[in-house]
Structure 1
């Protein structure tokens, strides 16, 4: 190993140079550690912590964890807006439509809003899902707005319905005793 240190370098400086030389031969590249799409899965929770991800669940799929981490900066830029709520839930694959008080029919109480949430496949409509959605929304919304109701719709119900029909036509023929036929 060639040294870049001057001839009068101390023992400590030479030891430090050797230690640093070993760290440059590590298999993980530093640019991958900061990229949520490329970093090793074991490092992703630390990257999420660095980016101040508000909601993290070990039960999420790898894709959901990577999306939440990747979108965290965008959510924090918009925090306190309708867009932040939509983006925070969108990172989990959850579709949402926010209906603010002035958009309701009849007009709702000032400062309130309701959510229509379309759950992706794999989510169940239960108390745990409701609480998860509520935690994500409360972390992203502004403090002055109050959440009214959350309507959860499972993935199976958000797909286009299959409509079919059948048409029958013809005549009704009644047969009586021998030789007497009457048509209706």
Structure 2
């Protein structure tokens, strides 16, 4: 009797990754002697064929492209018969949740925090990557949490990125989106500088613009003439105006009103620089009353160049130290200030506390 499968067939196998397969292949009849069975080519990962039981079984472990298999029965005289069938192992396509990413338009110096979509499906563990990898300055991506976060520190031209998911078999899927970082809006001060404007005027405008950009000043336009005016110059710009007017020392340690008054008097003080009159001008420009300068002509405290200032108004230790430095910048070089005295004007009514801010009336200079 001829060897045959007696009309039997094998159904094609189409399963997904992780599916269990348990199929008994047909038994051949006829032929000479005992029949042997063979299945080719190599099976998908996770599946095995056992000849003794003719079992094709196992659990699929990965994708397998459609392929045709040949099942062969052979008797002892090498007579054989064959059946063919196909096997394909598929996996769910990688899909993102949510299915898209909105384009990002951020603003410089404004914190951002966004989570990129999670991928599902595929085979095995999914890993993520972003291409290109260069993000705006100050922004970072945590691939483990899929979070974009940080504080954009500078403007960034719009650029397209790919958010890529790769499964355990190297199959990928991606979403595209763009990122742009807009600069902080900072209106340019309207100055209309004349051709005769000094370099200092231009520098002041640039400085003001930068300070305004950093949100240290109010928004709006400011004419350059206001920057040069001690009454209208913004508080944040006073230090620059003092520098431009050659107000050296520690004027910043005084109140804003005192500083503005001192700037107004700075030209008069410079005219008297190097004279005894400049000392009085400095003291009075800050709103203090000067009674006398002992020793300014004949010396005091054991040396002809030493002198001390007697005040008609109380003076704190901090203000005395700052006033000393302002006086040093304008007094005659031969003069050496030894102390301030305000003993005769100190009120003993509790308005001045001797807690380290004030002395009992004499402040020795450094």
Q: Which has the higher contact order (CA 8 A, sep 6+)?
A: 1
| 1:139 matched to 2:329 | yes
Distance apart, 1:55 and its partner CA? 2.4
SS state of the match for residue 342, structure 2?
Answer: strand
Distance verdict in 2 for CA 1:101–1:40, change over 3 Å = closer
For structure 2, which runs of at least 5 residues remain unmatched after alignment? 1-187, 193-219, 348-366
Which structure has the highest helix share of the two?
1
Which structure has the highest strand share of the two?
2
Spell out structure 1 runs of 4+ moving beyond 3 A: 21-26, 56-59, 100-104, 108-112, 152-157
Distance apart, 1:153 and its partner CA? 4.1
Partner of 1:54: 248
Higher alpha-carbon Rg: 2
Distance apart, 1:65 and its partner CA? 1.2
CA contact (8 A) 2:269 2:278 kept: yes
Distance verdict in 2 for CA 1:109–1:101, change over 3 Å = farther
Match of 2:265 among 52, 57, 71: 71
Distance verdict in 2 for CA 1:31–1:73, change over 3 Å = same
Mapping for residues 101-180 of structure 1, pairs under 5 Å: 102=297, 109-120=303-314, 123-124=315-316, 126=317, 128-153=318-343, 156-157=346-347
Distance apart, 1:39 and its partner CA? 1.8
TM-score by length of 1: 0.57
Distance apart, 1:142 and its partner CA? 0.8
For structure 1, which runs of at least 5 residues remain unmatched after alignment? 1-20, 158-184
| 1:98 matched to 2:293 | yes
Match of 1:42 among 236, 239, 248: 236
Distance verdict in 2 for CA 1:149–1:58, change over 3 Å = closer
Distance apart, 1:115 and its partner CA? 1.3
- The whole-number CA distance in structure 2 between the counterparts of 1:81 and 1:94 is 19
